[in-house]
Amino acid sequence: MRKKVAIFLFGAGVFDGSEIVESVSCQIAAERAGASVEFFSPDVFQRDVVDHASGKASNERRNVKSESARIARGKIFDAKDFNAEDFDALIFPGGFGAAKNASDFALKGKNAKVLPEIERAVLDFFALKKPMGFACISPASIAAPVLGKFGVSLTIGSDAQTAQSLESFGAKHVGCAAKSFVKDEARPVFSTPAYMLAANAAEVFEGISKMVSAMLK
């Protein structure tokens, strides 16, 4: 049977949504491994909108699911409708959307909370012992706030301040090169630094591809 992978997106663009290179890398890696992919996103408004050319905040108001649909080529499902039983693997790319829209990690750090529908998806997958992958900032902004109480091992690369925030939730940080990934010692929880450490898109893809291949073995 062909494996099914769910990828959660939180907007489109590194500064206020999902990082596009990471998101596409996750899809390509999964499909190259023979899996089919479906996209999910919360139907909420973005915390902010950033002009990616100037780096300045905009007064626009954008919907996270609508913006995520740009990456998913229009076919995207509401995060509230996600059923862990239907999928073999679950992946979260990075970008500030993972720290602003999926949670409030960008604002509250160690006191961050994750959206209820995202927390439920992670906990359901964890309970079923199915593989989950987290890239870039999502290990700190999504995985750690939800799974830190279980003492899972995660990586964001080598940034000491972010690693400290990750460990404040109870998770264990493991240093890792951009082209590699970390797997928890006892559970199928995977993570890779991606643009937290990578110098270019090729390094991002290599690390994500290795992680996804290991998840789908």
Just list the catalytic residues: 136
Q: Is residue 40 within 8 Å of 78, Cβ to Cβ?
A: yes
Task: Please list, in sequence order, all residues whose beta carbon lies within 8 angstroms of the beta carbon of residue 183, skipping any fewer than 6 positions away.
Answer: 153, 189, 190, 214
DSSP SS3 for 37: strand
The span from the CA of 205 to the CA of 26, in Å, is: 8
Instruction: Give dist(CA 157, CA 166) in Å, integer.
Output: 12
**133 secondary structure, DSSP code:** E
Helices (H), 10-73: 20-32, 64-71
Q: What are 26's two structure tokens?
A: 């996750």
DSSP string, 146-199: HHGGGT-EE---S-HHHHHHHHTTT-EE----TT--EE-SSS-EEEE-GGGT-S
**Which residues have CB under 8 Å from 160's CB, separation 6+?**
none
